[in-house]
Amino acid sequence: MSPATRTPRLAIAATSAAIGVLALVGCSSTVTGTPEPSAGGTTTSQSDVDLNTLLIDPSSFPAPYDALVLPQQAISQAAPDLSGIPAGAQVSPAGCKPADQDFSPEGTAMIVGTDNDSRSTISIELTAVDEPLSARKKQLEQCGEVTATKSGATSTVTSTLTPPPPIGADETLAVRQTVASGAGGDAVTQSMLTLMAQIDDIRVSATFMSFGSETPDTATLDELFTSAVQKVKQG
């Protein structure tokens, strides 16, 4: 799939039964930096809780966001978008590749709100993890620029840590990322702002994603992130 083809899919997928096309199939990224040990194989669930029961309700998303809880079979396609690195991509150095996820209901849950006019989304993802959020922070610090390659397509992921969100949690983290792929008329830039918090073995991530230079909707992102963290803390 060419970058130009993939651009409109983000908005379309989040509001249709074909949500699986949300994934950036066929992308690749390259990373520069000091290789570090991988963030740790496949992430395994630490509890038997169905994380979908801890997601905020679609009605929590204000207009113009049209929110949808992703069906479990679509999450494995959509989740890699939030790191900018497709599943199965060749990443250099290898230590900059995010840990594999458990995509069962006890491992990952996701809700996506789409603003169809601006083709931007806000995603809330809950994951069961077996490592502290500080491990992800260290990886991002080591991997400020990454190049990934899959199916002959290459993209560059640039990450910059920003001040962590002030919210009650074991650990918090914030990162701005851009994913640049294609060239000339097919060039695409995907921009993301992600807020993270960890409560025990559950990681909460809220990501604003857009294409081009769309200004992040930080007010709505912060509001939904706060609601998501509170929901997990309440259990």
- Give 104-135 pLDDT, tens digit per residue: 999 999 999 999 998 899 999 999 999 999 99
pLDDT of residue 47: 59
pLDDT of residue 46: 47
Domains of the chain, residue spans: 3-234
pLDDT of residue 212: 67
Residue 215: CB atoms within 10 A of its CB come to 11
Q: Which residue has the tokens 């609601």?
A: 227
Instruction: Return d(Cα 206, Cα 90) in angstroms, integer.
Output: 26
| Residue positions counted in the chain | 235
For the chain, residues with pLDDT lower than 70 are 1-47, 212-213
Region at 8 (left for phi over 0; alpha for psi -120 to 50; beta for the rest): alpha
106 and 50 Cβ atoms separated by less than 8 Å: yes
Q: What is the CA radius of gyration of the chain?
A: 16
Tell which residue, 187, 217, 189, has the closest CA to residue 114. 217
Domain formed by 3-234, architecture: 3-Layer(aba) Sandwich (3.40)
Pairing of strands 153-162, 145-150: antiparallel
Quote helix, strand, coil % in the chain, to nearest 5.
25, 35, 40
Instruction: Return d(Cα 143, Cα 34) in angstroms, integer.
Output: 7
Say how far residue 44 (Cα) sits from the centre of its chain.
18
pLDDT of residue 48: 81
pLDDT of residue 235: 85
14 and 74 Cβ atoms separated by less than 8 Å: no
pLDDT of residue 213: 67
